[in-house]
Amino acid sequence: MTAASIAAQVRSGERTALEVIDQALEAALRLDPLLHFVDELDVVGARAAAERLEPTGPFAGVPFFIKARTPDNSPIISRLVAAGGIPIGTATRARPGAVSQTFGWNGQDYTRNPWDLSRSPGGSTAGGAAAVAAGVVPLATGGDSGGSLRIPAAFCGVVGFKGTYGRIPRPVGRILGGLTTAGFIGAELDDVILATSIASGPHRLDPTALPAWPVPTVHDRSWRIAYRSTLGCHLADPAVDHVIRERLTHAGVTVVDVPLELLPTDEAWPVLSGLDAGRGAEAAAANRAREVRDNNNTALADLFAEVDALITPTTLTVAHGYDQHESSIVTGDPCWAFNVTGHPAVSVPAGLADGLPVGVQVVAPHGSDDVALAVARRVQVALPPPPIR
């Protein structure tokens, strides 16, 4: 069920929050031995929160997972809880220090993909994506500094949304490199939109965050989009490219051939990430990273003067083996350019290739999160449930 429908049942009294939470906990306990998505399950805390809940909020009784190692004072958590959401625990992410983050690890085993137990659910929001795809919870929190919401959403056939930089406040405030945006992975686009709206707006810990973002009302129209199967030197797998091109053909969007020349971000991103982590940077490297950001922002502004949105594959391949993340490091290349520039980007399912989900990424101008989501709604497809659910 969607988060919105669960909340509606709890508010109406059709189901109690405790019934919903017990069902989610039971599903987590039953499926975690197969998928290894749980970092820590909070059975006692979740049941206590359900028992004392006043069922009035927009997310009344909705169970969700928190990405492991998310600070307890994060606004994304407190605001979802204030809206009635109930965290049932923390979900796995990649090991600290890994070069490629497209996997999950629970301390003993790799997190697995509900579509194929030999595959990774992506990362770094690995456990949240696996739990959502498996139907344990309708929503999970995360953060995206290089595709950490969008990559697992693509691998698992669900929705991952990174809003314009600063869309959701963070407990560390505005960081120097400006890569990371907090956000959600969800089974349904509307749930992710509502959750983002609830979590948006300045906070005492991040007063420079963007203004509160009401749930957008966007009337569908004839969208003009640019499509790029790759943004760098690494090509998308032909099967992935084919699925997306076929989907665009049937989605009724107008594909426009517009030039786009972006500078590579493979040197700028590590510099900005180091600044975010407080490691500092040489002046020349920091200036070069700023030049890359400024150049690409200008190039994208010129593109968006001609089209409503840019579409790419979210990942260049379908899900790789659960322990093959280092050899598949380039699969998320289409994602991290938009962390450097701060544009809104959302991944939704476009179809299946070899029985595994293919994600399509929709990027829109700064502040036009509503456009990215409206185009995503047009191009997304409803996938069948995965085998493990």
Question: In which element (H, E) is residue 385 found?
Answer: none
Amino acid letter at 93? R
The two structure tokens encoding residue 203? 């906070």
273 catalytic residue (yes or no): no
Q: Where are the beta strands (DSSP E) in the chain?
A: 38-41, 63-67, 86-91, 139-144, 159-162, 181-186, 224-227, 254-255, 309-313, 345-353, 356-363
The C-alpha atoms of residue 290 and residue 282 are separated, in whole angstroms, by: 12
> Amino acid letter at 151?
I
Catalytic-labelled residue, pool 100, 120, 124, 273? 124
Contact 104, 35 (CB under 8 A): no
Q: Is the dihedral of CA 185, 37, 6, 71 positive or negative?
A: negative
Specify the residue for token string 């069922």. Answer: 55
**Distance (Å, whole) CA 4 – CA 188:** 10
The DSSP-derived string for 213-261 is -PPP-------EEEE-S-SSSSPPPHHHHHHHHHHHHHHTPEE------
Instruction: Considering the candidates 74, 120, 148, 273, report the single residue annotated as catalytic.
Output: 148
Nearest to 373 by CA among 140, 214, 176: 214
Q: How far apart are CA 36 and CA 29, in angstroms?
A: 10
Per the annotation, the verdict on 124 as an active-site residue is yes
Q: Torsions phi, psi of 35, nearest 5?
A: -105, -20
Instruction: Report the C-alpha gap between 34 and 30 in whole angstroms.
Output: 8
Q: What are the structure tokens assigned to 34, written together?
A: 């197969």
Catalytic: 74?
no
Q: Which residues are identified as catalytic?
A: 67, 124, 148
